[in-house]
A and B are shown apart, each in its own frame.
Chain A
Amino acid sequence: MAKLPLEGVRIVALPVVFAGPFATMLLADLGAEVILVESVHHFPTITRGYMPRPPQFLVPTTGATFGGSGGIQTYVNHWAGDRPWDRFVMFHALGRNKVSCCIDLTRPQGIEVFERLVKVSDVFFESNAADTMEKLNLTYDVLKEVNPSIIYLSMPGLGCTGPHKYCSIFGAQLQALAGHTWLTRYPDLDYTTTQSLIFHSDAASGATAAFAILCALRYRKRTGKGQFIDLSQLESVVPHIGEAIMDYTMNGRVQQPLGNRHPSMAPHGVYRCLGDDGWVVISVSSEEEWQGLCKALGNPPWAKEERFSTPLDRLKNQDEMDKYIEEWTCRHDNYEVMYILQKEGIAAGPVLDQSNAFHDAQLASRGFFEEVSHREAGTHLYPGMLWKMDKTPISIRKPPPCLGEHNDYVFKEVLGMSDNEIAELEKDKLIGGDEYLVESIF
């Protein structure tokens, strides 16, 4: 089999919550050996659960739990079991292809083991609040003494310098700061109706961080030099609304939210369909597509009215136009609308709930979902690779690791420690272990 792109690259990682785990997942997918350094003494909130052993009333039994968080707090089959941290779905979503070992980073002997690991690695990756590495005394200045060619990436919310560097916030707040939330709401309602649980920011800064590591790896391959990467999650997502920023800097205009509408296209929006909570989206970008839409709808008389005759008219009168379109979409299910309109060359597609997406024909045809067997969770299809490579095919090679699953591999094979040495360190719980010794995070 062909060598994977990052085969032979070792990444030591302390990623938490969404963005860091997503970044390291992309690198692990490319073949890097991503070693998660975890600890039985410290529970990473919202990474392997909200608490090590949640009481049953905090294990949601349906999506309709906890004021909007739904799928975020799910355990496999709604059952936390003896080892809840190995059954937390969010960890499963981002844990594939990684390995896990446990080292206590709060004691000097633990730090010693950790530094040995850094010595034989290419990259150190962390996504904690800016003071975490300082408190552990594992800053870049310290680790580059251990390994001068290490690539070290930190991605705190607001960056590694500046008056607000110690800010500790999540993706939902980052995109509020970044101006994304401002642009996302129903035009007729205020922001208190905005759902706070949209994490574009995590997806964006996670992918950007993976790109950053690849840039640094390429430079290191040419020159042998490592470096420090200061990734502010905020700064990595601001370019994603670049045109709104430019409107302000060029024209002094503060763009306002448009809901499902578009500044120049009409029709553009979401329309009700047959079925429970069924919706389709349609966007028409040219006169040709408008003609196609009229044809698909059977050239109804309203479409010939003067108030809908030019793109500008349609933009101005889209409330009325949308009512007519919805009368038609209401008679079809959302996939049906997609097929009818796509045949006429119009961008249209169903709003897929999670079940629809899982069963979607396109994803099935491309083999997007991959079967994975996991010691604690059983066998399931998991969402797979985000792209396909024809010469170095990437895939899910390893299931998400259980806590400390690869202690032996890391301490014996990677670090070459003797059985005695391991036993000595394990006795004091400095390394090893596979269950949390902290019961509660309070």
Chain B
Amino acid sequence: MQEQALSGVKVLDLTWHIAGPYCTKLLADYGADVIKVERPGKGDPTRAMGPFFKDDPNPEKSGLFLHLNTNKKGTTLNLKSATGKKILKQLAAESDILVESFRPHVMPGLGLDYQSLEKVNPRLVMVSISNFGQTGPYRDFKSSEIVEYAMGGEMYSTGIAGREPLKLGGNVIQYQAGTVAAVATMGALYSAEDEGTGQHVDVSIMETQIGSADRRIMYILSYIMAGVITTRWPPPREAIRMLIMPQGVYPCKDGFVNTLSLPQWWPRYIEALGMPELKDDPRFQNIYSAEAGMEFDAIWYSWLADHTKEELFEIFLKSKIASAPINSTEDLLKYTQLKAREYFAEVEHPETGKVTYPGAPFKMSETPWKISRPAPLLGQHNEEIYCKLLGYTAEELIKLREGGII
């Protein structure tokens, strides 16, 4: 079996929802051994969130859960019981990394804070992912995707002038937080493997957004350095133009395209439109003219209306214009570039059969990304982990089950 980048790294995963599980999915898909610990009975709340396979709301058929938990082994454990805590410490002693995403008071409340776990395993890297961080006046506040985007991200300037601020689609903020947490985790692991000492990493989802390059970090610094407040803007049709070339989203024959232009690209537009006469057209000699922009729009709109988004993309690629179609998930699944790169992965799961999943976020030449097993059924690996790894007997396992511990 080919070695993976994170082969041999042992991760104890107490996370739920999206941010934490995406962090540990990244680790697992690149080779770490991840043991996911869920609540007995209900498990990770994403098991109850859609979309469900064939719309059957079965906890083993949540597409969100299946996507986020590939390559992990699944156990159940009641952390509120004394035995549960003891078992968790045994697992922590065997692990390089523990990732948890409870609210900050939970782990200390269970007697499972870093100080306690460090005693069991001084090399342990413990990563705590929370809404607002382990300290501060908001530390116990509740949050959600929309709250994180409002407070941490650039929701204020997302949307259009005169309308309410707009959330980004889906749960992308949580995914971003998980990705940043994976960077933090790997940084601490690198240190721990080097120096032999673990540490506690405190990831605040709010800070992962404030500090991310989605514009917020830059807009805040623009405010600090130049007093600029960036607000929501008029749509391209009504906005004050800097250039005669298009900026924004425009309709075409069968959908929409998103275009950005730089001043030096005017010749590329002339080429793409196949209208060499525009070069000498007296209307378009000053590319910074907003009025000429209106004139050009008329040409641009009618040209776009004659082409499909797929045709347009081929033309844009050839002329090096930064424009791309607004794809639906269906378009994305059919996209030739992704097919040519064999991006999507087929994953076999006992409850759903074979389903297509998003693939590798990057390709490594020596140590590949791969899905060796689908997301675990609830408690699927209890016996393997508790008996084979920790040495509990079959009878003890039954007792744990009867006691509601697992």
Contact = CB atoms under 8 A, between A and B. Distances in A.
A211 B357 CA distance: 21
A412 interface: no
A278 B284 CA distance: 41
Contacts of B232: 195
A347 B103 CA distance: 13
B229 A179 contact: no
Nearest to A59: B226
B69 to A, nearest CB: 11
Interface string B196-238: 0111111110111011111111111111111011111111110
Given A247-B63, A258-B169, A442-B264, A351 B155 contact: yes
Interface stretch (A160-168, A299-307, A415-423): A160-168
Given A254-B330, A362-B138, A69 B242 contact: yes
Chain A interface bracket (under 10, 10 to 19, 20 to 34, 35 or more): 35 or more
B233 A70 contact: yes
8 contacts: A3-B194, A18-B213, A63-B230, A68-B233, A173-B322, A218-B193, A238-B359, A270-B150
B395 interface: no
A89 B226 contact: yes
A180 B159 contact: no
B320 interface: yes
A198 B158 contact: yes
Interface stretch (A34-42, A108-116, A312-320, A387-395): A387-395
Contacts of B135: 365-366
Most A CB atoms within 10 A — which of B163, B233, B237?
Answer: B233
Given A30-B187, A180-B172, A184-B169, A245 B358 contact: yes
B174 to A, nearest CB: 9
B356 A249 contact: yes
Contact of B207 (A195, A352, A363): A363
B82 interface: no
B195 interface: yes
B170 A183 contact: yes
A210 interface: yes
Interface stretch (A98-106, A374-382, A403-411, A428-436): A374-382
Contacts of A58: 242
A162 B337 CA distance: 6
B296 interface: no
A228 B365 contact: yes
Interface string A216-243: 1111010101011111101110111111
B294 to A, nearest CB: 12
B137 interface: yes
B165 A177 contact: no
Interface in A299-335: none
B1 to A, nearest CB: 15
B156 A349 contact: no
Interface string B141-173: 111111101110011111110011111111110
B168 A243 contact: no
Per CB-CB distance, the 5 closest pairs between chain A and chain B, nearest first, are: A183-B169, A246-B63, A67-B239, A391-B199, A214-B186
